[in-house]
A and B are shown apart, each in its own frame.
Chain A
């Protein structure tokens, strides 16, 4: 083997590695470094303050509220995104007519930009909008969808759920093909009803996929931003301010890069935790581990 042959793998890897270095690894460490500096006095000459930003941020009421809001949002949307698409996938998997048409329509919100979905829902959520009209038909009082601090986060979660159903449904559909038909038939012969059949056979069989959907939907819930930016801007009364929204405001509105970076590090730790569980427990095969 000559020397040029040994260089070959590195030549192939070079472009990707350079780009990852510039747009991932350097920013990754720089975020941590920036979180130790104070940018508020002199933006171009930040002062080293050690862990000061972390102390300040963890005492900041708004940041704590942002973290709690983010987890509240996660609790509102993850159970739905885990269970509802599974039910839909099982229904579509029943060898029914028009199954492809159903899949197609349910998948459309996934490909449409979240900005448009959020604008569409903002319109539905108007005080005299379509949703309140429907509620009125059932003699239910109008809901202040985006104007009440109690309801706003749930309204945002509905948009996220709406956009996610089709995506997770497809993941479930792929895993449902691996459920052995004989087991389902055996359960039927044993007299299990439709629902019991799936609870005892299908669900245990696709447990790894259910776990996968739980972690990936949790990760995207922790990163929620666009829905909120388009619909509520974090309001009313900070009730929809999440971690990423907090970072956005601190960095691009107050230019307080130190505080924003320490919030970034906290977000990073939270998301990394979920991601590592995901990669090493549920997706080993995909990454060839």
Chain B
């Protein structure tokens, strides 16, 4: 009985895993078929007869995918760093200090969580234009335009506030007796204690920023600043005649994030619930 149950559980999960991999496997298969193989062949062939990497090399030659990946990395990296710094700074007084207007600020930050970015993006776009944070001014300004609107996030503030709240009061008191001021207390004593939450915030902010499509697609005008999602979407127009190249470009683009995920899998599994931040 136990064995039969186990068999069906594994069977069900294996079918689901195949379903989860199928779109990517089929894309890889298409990308590895050479010009001599018909990609619309019937019945479809999963393993190419003459597997080739030619499409990968060709798409890398024609489209600056590596540059897109570097752009995505720059944007994601600085978005993460600024989020960590600003969220931690804001979370600390909200968790551990008493001051006038604390409740007001608390609820204002909470309010931002209920408003979707899409509903306020038009004025954000106008503000970013007025501040010259666009790629037509300079590359740096272009990057800033992609980073700054997302460099503080209420999820992060609340996540870190909860982490600060779990630290016992005695640790803080003894540090104050030892002569620490608020800033020393913050970065020497408290910040190291919330490292697990900081890493959860870092990972989920990174993945969110890396996959972001709508905002960069609105503000970017120069191809040199395209991030991966924007650049990969453009492949569809550029190579509408040859899905092999679209497939090859798409597969190349997901390698970095899959490696990142596999390296940090434990944190992802631990953090989904705590983070619950979704792009």
- Partner-B contacts on A (CB < 8 A): 5-6, 8-10, 12-13, 15-17, 19-20, 22-28, 30-31, 34, 88, 91-92, 94, 96-98, 100, 102-109, 111-117, 119-121, 123-124, 126, 128-130, 133, 162, 165-167, 170-171, 174-175, 194, 216, 219-220, 222-223, 225-226, 229-230, 244, 247-248, 251-252, 257, 260-261, 264-265, 267-268, 271-272, 275-276, 279, 286-288
Contact = CB atoms under 8 A, between A and B. Distances in A.
Contacts of B233: 115, 119, 229-230
Interface in B144-176: 148-149, 151-152, 154, 157-158, 161-162, 165
A124 B250 CA distance: 14
B261 interface: yes
Contact of B21 (A8, A13, A105, A128): A105
B6 A96 contact: yes
B119 A264 contact: yes
Contacts of B12: 91
A165 B207 contact: no
A80 to B, nearest CB: 13
Contact of A31 (B102, B119, B148): B119
A171 B268 CA distance: 11
A252 B218 contact: yes
A271 B114 contact: yes
Contact of B44 (A92, A130, A194, A257): A130
Contacts of B228: 113
Interface in B246-279: 246-247, 250, 253-254, 257-258, 260-262, 265, 268-269, 272-273, 276, 278
A129 B6 CA distance: 34
B229 interface: yes
Interface of B: 5-6, 9-10, 12-13, 16-17, 19-24, 26-27, 30, 40, 42-44, 85-87, 89-90, 92-94, 97, 99, 102, 105, 108-110, 112-116, 118-124, 126-127, 148-149, 151-152, 154, 157-158, 161-162, 165, 182, 186, 207, 210-211, 213-214, 218, 228-229, 232-233, 235-236, 243, 246-247, 250, 253-254, 257-258, 260-262, 265, 268-269, 272-273, 276, 278
B86 A19 contact: yes
Given A6-B99, A9-B99, A26-B123, A279 B273 contact: no
A271 B115 contact: yes
Given A123-B23, A216-B278, 17 more contacts: A20-B108, A23-B148, A34-B123, A96-B13, A107-B269, A113-B210, A114-B211, A114-B229, A115-B213, A123-B243, A123-B247, A128-B40, A130-B22, A130-B26, A264-B119, A287-B110, A288-B158
Contact of A112 (B24, B26, B97, B151): B24
A123 B213 CA distance: 20
A88 B16 CA distance: 9
